[in-house]
A and B are shown apart, each in its own frame.
Chain A
Amino acid sequence: KAGVTQTPRYLIKTRGQQVTLSCSPISGHRSVSWYQQTPGQGLQFLFEYFSETQRNKGNFPGRFSGRQFSNSRSEMNVSTLELGDSALYLCASSLNLDRINEQFFGPGTRLTVL
Chain B
Amino acid sequence: KNEVEQSPQNLTAQEGEFITINCSYSVGISALHWLQQHPGGGIVSLFMLSSGKKKHGRLIATINIQEKHSSLHITASHPRDSAVYICAVEWVSGGGADGLTFGKGTHLIIQP
Known contacts A99-B30, A102-B48; A45/B41 CB under 8 A: no
Chain B residue nearest to A44 (CB atoms) is B102
Q: How many residues of A contact B (CB 8 A)?
A: 27
> How far apart sit A90 and B88, CA to CA, in the bound complex (Å)?
15
Q: Is B52 an interface residue (CB 8 A)?
A: no
> Which of A48, A90, A103 has the largest number of chain B CB atoms within 10 A?
A103
Interface residues on B, range: 20 to 34
24 residue pairs from A and B, CB less than 8 Å apart: A33-B99, A33-B100, A37-B41, A42-B105, A45-B100, A55-B96, A56-B98, A57-B97, A90-B41, A90-B43, A92-B43, A99-B30, A99-B31, A99-B90, A100-B31, A100-B50, A102-B33, A102-B45, A103-B33, A103-B100, A107-B41, A107-B42, A108-B41, A108-B42
